[in-house]
Chains A and B, each alone.
Chain A
Amino acid sequence: MKMLNQDDTKRITDKVLSLSKADECTVTIKGGRTGNIRYARNAVSTAGLVENTEIAISVAFGKKQGTASVNEFDDKSLEKAVRRAEDLARLAPENPEFMPTPAAVAFKSSSTFSAKTDAIDPEFRAQVAAYSIEACRKNKLVAAGFFTDESGFETIANSRGVFGHQQRTNVDFTCTVRTEDGRGSGWVRRDANDVSKFDARAASDVAIEKALRSVEAKALEPGRYTVILEPAATSDLMAYMFNSFDARSADEGRSFLAKQGGRNRLGDKLFDEQVNVWADPWHPDVPVLPWDAETMLAREKMDLIKNGKIAALNYSPFWAKKQGARAVGAPGNIVMAGGSKSTAELIASTKKGVLVTRTWYIRMVDPQSVLLTGLTRDGTFYIENGKIKHPIKNFRFNESPVTMLNNIDELGRPEILAGDESQFQLLIPAMRVRDFNFTSLSDAV
């Protein structure tokens, strides 16, 4: 079906709200198309296009809630979906923690849409793949990569007057380049909502250079090292930590933000004072929707960590009411202040250390201390007297981002990226960190 515009979705949501007989009703419409191309071994392996538009209707009778969704938008189908949601709500057990849908607020739009991204076609995707494939063939290297572009919209509305509609676009590119003998591997990631900010050729060159430099890796003893962590090396560590910024878990004593005696660490200094992190849906580099679709609450620009102190926790509407706090939309992005130095400049001012391109397969070992384990991957190098001396074998680490953010020597220039396994859009700096804990060696290239 055609992409719905704001007038279309307003008409649809008004119709649904007028049909509902429940105490309250919320409506979400999401739609769009996602195109992708995937390549490996210097050839395209898969490519595709998926189009889908769906409307989800949630209704509540008292504290009993039901949800229904359809992908048909004629009046009869909309009515059928409303009645289904009402039937399910009547069947559902009562949830004492159910919270009413929020009252109307005006959402301030953010720049999440780019016409250029919206115009991407299969030929463009093939061209992106071609850049790295052809460059790798020329250099006797092997390329594997993935480019995906999304153009869509989200609409939210409820029976208390909330209405929001916004288009959004996004491109995401990752590329791994390996030497033919498998002894070297490099990687790059680029994310943008405006494709004109994305340069496939320059991105591919980063992965190519890392692959060529990473051949002949030497083993370094596991232990504690000064490390320069590129943004892709800390993105998932940071995301894991911010996933634990839940006020309820902290208050209940089951998070690293819990304190002895049943209180939380809001306001406590837990990190080096250079650490300043905030969420801002209107940030020009990492814009996200100005609402949190799950709660229909507006997002706000808010400090998460201020001069090393915990500045905010995420309160669900229920927990906020219970604790006398204010619930706001959960952040969609994370912005961390940095310095002005490039990674190369950070390397130049490092006497001895390890450069980490990215980290991989990160999992929680102990939520009590946010101890995470994972590995370095696709470009790990030994630094001596301000220069990359040679590639080194990959390490496994067991480290907490809390410890990491306490051991900061210097911060570099923030860069845009998305995490491998996180839902946040990120703008975070490279970091030089003391005493990063590598616990064993890996033979993986």
Chain B
Amino acid sequence: MERRAFLNLGGAALGTMLLPPFGRAIAAEELVRPVETKFKKMLADTALTAATQAGASYCDVRVGRYLNQFITTRDLNIENVTNTESAGVGVRVIAGGAYGFAATNDMTPDGVAGAARQAVAIARANAKLQTEPVQLAPTPGVGEVAWATPFKKDWRTVPIKEKAELLIAGNKAGMEAGASFMQSLLFQVNQQKYFASTDGSYIDQDLHRLWVPFFATAVDKTSGKFRSRSGLSTPVGMGYEYLDGRKEDKFQAAGGVTTLYRNSYDLIEDARAAGKQAKQKLTAKSVQPGKYDLVLSPEHLWLTIHESVGHPTELDRVLGYEANFAGTSFATLDKWQSKKFKYGADIVNIVADKTTPGSLGAVGYDDEGVKCKRWDIIKDGVLVNYQATRDQAHIIGEKESHGCSYADSWSSVQFQRMPNVSLQAGKKQLTPDQMIKDVKKGIYIVGDGSFSIDQQRYNFQFGGQLFYEIKDGKITQPLEDVAYQANTQEFWNACTALCDERDWRMGGSFFDGKGQPSQSSIVSHGASTARFNGINVINTARKIG
């Protein structure tokens, strides 16, 4: 799905969302039948040979089969069930020191060889404008290897009826609890990615992901007011077992205001809470603007981390490669080189990884054949590293890539994309309830809402799903019309407390847009509940007409 289509999602806009019109709808038994490795290797070798014969000094080939199943619902109806399959081959080359890329859905030897030669022709045309040749950090060929997302239940084998009944049961629970309307979706993804390169790697990966968002909307027809509450699930890199809603994976938010989830999710329970809370929001107190101490739950904070740490530490942004679309970054090389740029308070430690089990970023190898790993981005509040791909590693003195290359399709060129970027838990024992006891005038925010940040990642504004007033160490009442505005560095330096690892969990994005043509990536961000002092809160209520 296009990111722009997803951006229209919301309590009122979901009904207008289009599901991807293309992709081969397939019967369940066909979904689980993989393409033979031998066939993929033959196609890859054909492309590698054609590219090198045409003059490429480097070539990589991605043979992709992308399977998705989308189920959309509105109230008590299933609106759509779509199985899609998209398969094809993308060939990236370096010739004359420049990149070229071509992709085709013609999965024949002639088709992929043609694409390889086309990629070389494009590279040669680009080479005329190249000032410096592309420089790739060495990556050892790993031969023939395989990696798969660990999962217990394969979504492809769960009957559609079972999934549909779960979604409708969730919608029904939400409506019975106070929502006037419910909309829910189930996104299920399987990417079968085969990577081969002239370095001598043949990497076969089988990746599984899942997300079950919903939107509960309550309407007061007398006043004309409406309010929504979105689900508190997170998109995950695991199987259908995420929807088991196991008892041991549930716990109470601070003050018992709602139930939260980790590792598995109870859709019906959360929908019921959402229906009730959406209705409550219609009469909640409108916030008084001013400075507050914010207590931010991981279900909310993941998005702030994503926008204010994840994106600005992407090396391609820092260097200016993204200047024309999503922008550049305030976290410039001189700040990193100084070894003393205080991105945040001393307690702020942020780590990048593509290895955390169950996360969206977890893969064995990236789309350049680099084995995935974990590294520090911010250590004791200081900026210490970025996120880099093979052609950027030398710029920051790294001998190898961080493994951050990703393409969203066989037909998209791979480039630097965000790994999981997570705030490490506090080292001292602290629960969210204990954290709140020390807050005199604050707001507790649960769930992600509206988000916006400038093109260098200084000024941001975030909303949320649930807001609670904190007065003299106690949660007193729900609030509405809350958004906070801050500057990235000031915000992270205002971080005064972090809950411990018992409270650490991940949120994430299924649709992180970047690049031109725009590509959609997936990424998780972990955190424990965190406190930020003296943050500017605005009131977002307006009257029109």
Contact = CB atoms under 8 A, between A and B. Distances in A.
Nearest to B130: A43
Contacts of A360: 327, 454-455
A46 B455 contact: no
B345 interface: no
A320 interface: no
A444 B450 contact: no
B25 A368 contact: no
A350 interface: no
A366 B119 CA distance: 46
Contacts of B104: 50-52
Interface string A254-267: 11101111100100
Contacts of B330: 443-444
B98 A44 contact: yes
B540 A145 contact: no
Contacts of A100: none
A145 B516 CA distance: 9
A101 to B, nearest CB: 15
B23 A69 contact: yes
Contact of A255 (B12, B81, B457, B483): B12
Chain A interface extent, by class: 35 or more
A148 interface: yes
A34 to B, nearest CB: 7
B99 A46 contact: yes
Given A34-B517, A36-B516, A243-B13, A122 B121 contact: yes
B2 to A, nearest CB: 8
B10 interface: yes
Contacts of A52: 88, 104-105, 411
A102 interface: no
A47 B219 contact: no
A399 B487 CA distance: 20
Interface in A201-245: 243-244
Contact of B180 (A43, A253, A293, A375): A253
A368 B459 contact: no
B77 A96 contact: yes
Given A146-B516, A249-B12, A444-B330, A84 B27 contact: yes
A126 B320 contact: no
A423 B538 contact: no
B226 A51 contact: no
B426 interface: no
Contacts of B226: 253-254, 258, 367-368
B12 A54 contact: no
Interface stretch (A85-93, A111-119, A299-307, A332-340): A85-93
A268 interface: yes
B102 interface: yes
Interface string B450-494: 111111111101010000000000000000010101010000000
A398 interface: yes
From B21, B123, B161, B181, residue with most partner A Cβ within 10 Å: B21
B190 interface: no
Contact of A178 (B18, B228, B323): B323
A85 B85 CA distance: 13
Interface stretch (A159-167, A341-349, A383-391, A434-442): A434-442
A47 B100 contact: yes
B106 interface: yes
A440 B125 contact: no
Interface in B242-292: none
Given A144-B324, A248-B15, A442-B459, A253 B221 contact: yes
A373 B461 contact: yes
A370 interface: yes
Contact of A88 (B4, B25, B132, B451): B25
B25 to A, nearest CB: 4
B78 A441 contact: no
Given A148-B517, A178-B320, A253-B224, A68 B24 contact: yes
Contact of A443 (B8, B122, B456): B456
A93 B78 contact: yes
B126 interface: yes
Nearest to B457: A444
A365 interface: yes
B102 A46 contact: no
A168 interface: no
A367 B10 contact: yes
Contacts of A394: 454, 459
B103 interface: yes
A263 B132 CA distance: 63
A36 B517 contact: yes
19 contacts: A36-B516, A41-B320, A48-B103, A50-B411, A54-B22, A67-B82, A84-B25, A87-B27, A178-B320, A178-B328, A246-B15, A249-B15, A256-B544, A370-B544, A373-B452, A396-B459, A442-B454, A443-B456, A444-B327
Interface of A: 1, 28, 30, 34, 36-54, 56, 65-71, 81, 84-85, 87-88, 91-93, 95-97, 122-123, 125-126, 129-130, 133, 142, 144-146, 148, 174-176, 178, 182, 187, 243-244, 246, 248-249, 252-256, 258-262, 265, 268, 270, 293-294, 314, 316, 360-371, 373-375, 377-378, 394, 396, 398, 400, 402-403, 421-423, 439-445
